[in-house]
A and B are shown apart, each in its own frame.
Chain A
Amino acid sequence: MTRSSKIFKFVLKRLLQGIPIILAIVIINFFLLNLADGDAVDVLAGEAGSATPEYMAELRAKFGLDQPLPVQLMVYLKNVVMLDLGYSFRHDMPVSELIVDRFWPTALLMVSTIILAVGFGILLGLLAAMRLNTWKDAVITVFALITYATPLFWVGLMMIVVFSLNLGWFPTSGMENVAAFYEGWDRVKDIAVHLVLPTITLSLFYLALYTRMMRASMLEQYGQDYVITARAKGLTERRITFVHVLRNALLPVVTMAGVQVGALIGGSVIVESVFAWPGLGMLAFESLFARDLNLLLGIFLLSSALVIVVNLIVDIIYSLLDPRIEVS
């Protein structure tokens, strides 16, 4: 069997295995969310201020909230299987439309964060390990330690204070300047400028983590026997570092990064709220307070599917990096 057909089979198998996992997640989330007091009708009535009990009962009947929980779950599951995520009464829009709309900003934020955190983490870790016990190593290690220990929301607020308010380099919030009606490259540039602060805020912690991991991993690999072999073969130190050691040292970092993509979605809730970034995280935050359960469930469903897909991608990358791991 060729490698590509092996990978195809592997992907298919993993996707099939993902289905029961997603179903389990949906069911658990459903009950967890229903444990919270109050529902969407309470919130709507509270906002309107003058709702009668009869009107509220009518609304509940309309939303299907008067049914017993197991029935509600069955109805929801049936709809999910048919790819219908329900209707957000709060936003007066189908859930699927809403989350697809908000998915792209989050995806953009996450991809740029991963690239920044993993890329620079690897680079800094590599540099620190190559210049072990010099001032460069010391600076990188101290930088990693400080960012590692700083809370996310505080970094976000400080970034806004320093770079937006005092220096005026970057906008304080939002994803683009809607009022300017940019098109083409101007719009891309506008979004890029808006992207800088949220990305840095979200990635700093992970950047620190990967820097530390990469440094430790490089040092561990330098001590392996094959490095002595490579030296005995008369290779240059450059070749040993960048070809022999680097590839082996990357393995644990890639694993870790794969596991943390899920956590990244969680982290994006805070960052999106701080920077008013119109993504899934902010949407989840809003809908939680509105008790918009359909929407929340939809967001959770999408996130869990995302995590499964990302893990799959990481496994494939891993099998390409390490020939000892076979996709099967």
Chain B
Amino acid sequence: MKQKLLDIADLYIELPKGADRQYAIQKVNLELKQGETLCVVGESGSGKSLTARAIMGLLPQPHVRVSNGEIIFNSEDITKVSYERLRELRGSEISMIFQEPMTALNPVMSIGSQIDEIFRYHVDMSKADRQKRAVELLDDVNLPNPEQIMRAYPHELSGGQRQRAMIAMALALKPQILIADEPTTALDVTTQAQILKLIKDMQKVYNTGVLFITHDFGVVADIADRVMVMQHGIVVESGPVKQVLNNPKHPYTKALISAVPSLSPRKAKTISKEKVLEVQNVCKTFGGGRGLFGFGRPSRQVEALKDVTLDLYNGETLGVVGESGSGKSTLARCIIRLMDTDSGAITIEGTQINMLKRKAMRAWRNKIQMVFQDPFASLNPRIKVGDIIAQGPITQGINREEAIKRARELISIVGLDDKSFDRYPHEFSGGQRQRIGIARSLALKPEILIADEPVSALDVSIQSQILDLLDDIREQMKLSMIFITHDLRVAAQVCDRMAVMQYGEVVEIGKTKDIFAKPQHPYTIDLLSAVPGKDWKSSASKKLTKTKTKSKS
């Protein structure tokens, strides 16, 4: 019988007055045993992170506090122990890793000294011993050159390396419980797979109980023993992983699971032969400039695009898939002329637009429009929604009344209330803002729409709504679309063809169906095998085409 490590009973966390609800979490009951992985799943605002913070005694006090219930860790109630005892437990018995490995590490301290602190404040060890142990730890988490990493600063490591260092730090004193708060959300899919494996391996060695917080059901399918689903601070369902994933009881769980895009590509439609956009041998290099007066060696160069060639056919959605730094966003920026190319040709309707002068380019601007990734940063907070949408046409010389009329139409097309016209962006949620962004891009009646990770900042249920909307609009307005994403599940459901990019090169391009069935390039194979939860195929898992017929009825 495995020992029970953590027992949370009837926990309430109270929010300050004036918050949108009185309790962040209500009536939460939770158990964690040795060697077990419990996944807490929920969308943003579900209270899953605060639950984790409460276990560490890390609630932002005094505003947010535990108002009822107990958190028993090895027969000790964490909500009642003294501050000094809590400090002893943190990092040694219970430790935590976070979502953003960049901001979670102190930028001005070396990795070595940040690991060293844990030993210094919890155990009595000589400096040489601590040093030795830290190097061992870094080696355990498979970091190359541990001695060098000890001296490195966080900014000198990649995201995955930073997360490994965080894990090394968290496991330094062999804690009984590891709390992981979305530890792989900010990472690339191949790195994510490695980090998940690392956590699993470490768990086996130390018999740690892992409380894993995530919003990604793919990850849940890969690592969880048990699952707990939260919504608005309430646990709506919990149970063994197989039961919850394959046979969800609560409507919210069902909705969440059905919103996860399926990995099997949707049915391909016939693609027209007419090219609307040709990208030929485009290259783009960053850096390489010399300092003032030309002193010194040229700075480090990055080849963001190497000889990229691809075509976009009329009416299709072409996916551009790749990990961070693969050059997919640079490609989008070059096509829309936010950036100039170094060489190569980008051609629309027989005109090579990448060499046009600023003034000559203006006439072409309305043909290509873009939907941006971050719906919070991409809308000017001081301009009303209606004006944001109408601005483009007005600048292009359409008279004001007509532009405003068109803006109102678009607002209803993207499924927003008519009253939205006179509101400011901050009054809307992330999904609604992305709808505004889409309406804005459509205002100029573009022929080509470039969507740069349009759903990666959104919760999974909102994500599927936006994907449906994009699909509808593409058909209604006869658009051709370039869809940039790092998420292969999304790509499978949205794209007719896809191009896989790595280090600025297109390594593979073809029909989505063919690439998923028979990937040719080793990198594509790696990418596909790293998708979390690839072995889990739920009958409820979503096919875009199915729900679309539903939404039209």
Contact = CB atoms under 8 A, between A and B. Distances in A.
A269 to B, nearest CB: 32
For chain B, give the interface size range. 20 to 34
B268 interface: no
A236 to B, nearest CB: 7
Given A226-B106, A226-B107, A248-B107, A235 B153 contact: no
A235 B292 CA distance: 45
Contacts of B296: 13, 328
B87 interface: yes
B95 A247 contact: no
B118 interface: yes
A224 interface: yes
A188 interface: no
A244 interface: yes
Contacts of A149: none
A17 interface: yes
Interface stretch (B97-105, B355-363, B406-414, B527-535): B97-105
A13 B295 CA distance: 8
A234 B58 contact: no
A226 B165 CA distance: 14
Given A13-B291, A323-B153, A324-B155, A232 B56 contact: yes
B122 A232 contact: no
A235 B172 CA distance: 14
Contacts of B292: 17
Q: How large is the interface on A (under 10, 10 to 19, 20 to 34, 35 or more residues)?
A: 20 to 34
Interface in A282-320: none
Nearest to A322: B108
Nearest to B155: A324
A239 B90 contact: no
A312 B105 CA distance: 29
A196 interface: no
A213 B58 CA distance: 27
A228 interface: yes
Contact of A232 (B91, B105, B153, B291): B91
B89 A234 contact: yes
A112 B292 CA distance: 35
Interface in A244-291: 244, 247-248
A323 B95 contact: no
Contacts, number: 84
A36 interface: no
Interface string A204-247: 00000000000000000000111011111111100100011001
B92 A224 contact: no
A16 B295 contact: yes
B127 to A, nearest CB: 16
A321 interface: yes
Contacts of A322: 107-108
Contact of B107 (A16, A228, A239, A324): A324
Contact of A229 (B92, B104, B110, B299): B104
A225 B153 contact: no
Contacts of A236: 87, 121
A321 B105 CA distance: 16
Nearest to B297: A328
Contact of A225 (B91, B98, B155): B98
Contacts of B169: 233
Given A16-B295, A244-B109, A323-B155, A229 B117 contact: no
Contacts of A226: 103-107
Given A234-B118, A239-B117, A321-B108, A228 B91 contact: no
Interface in B293-326: 293, 295-296, 299
A257 B88 CA distance: 39
B108 A230 contact: no
B90 A233 contact: yes
B49 to A, nearest CB: 11
A234 B122 contact: yes
Nearest to A231: B58
Contacts of A228: 58, 98, 104
30 contacts: A16-B295, A17-B293, A224-B103, A225-B100, A226-B103, A228-B98, A229-B166, A230-B117, A231-B90, A232-B91, A233-B91, A233-B117, A233-B118, A233-B169, A234-B87, A234-B88, A234-B92, A234-B122, A235-B87, A235-B117, A239-B121, A247-B108, A247-B109, A248-B107, A323-B155, A324-B107, A324-B108, A324-B153, A324-B155, A328-B296
Given A232-B95, A233-B90, 12 more contacts: A17-B295, A225-B98, A225-B100, A226-B105, A230-B117, A232-B91, A233-B95, A234-B90, A234-B91, A235-B121, A239-B121, A321-B108
Interface of B: 56, 58, 87-92, 95-96, 98, 100, 103-110, 117-118, 121-122, 153, 155, 166, 169, 291-293, 295-296, 299
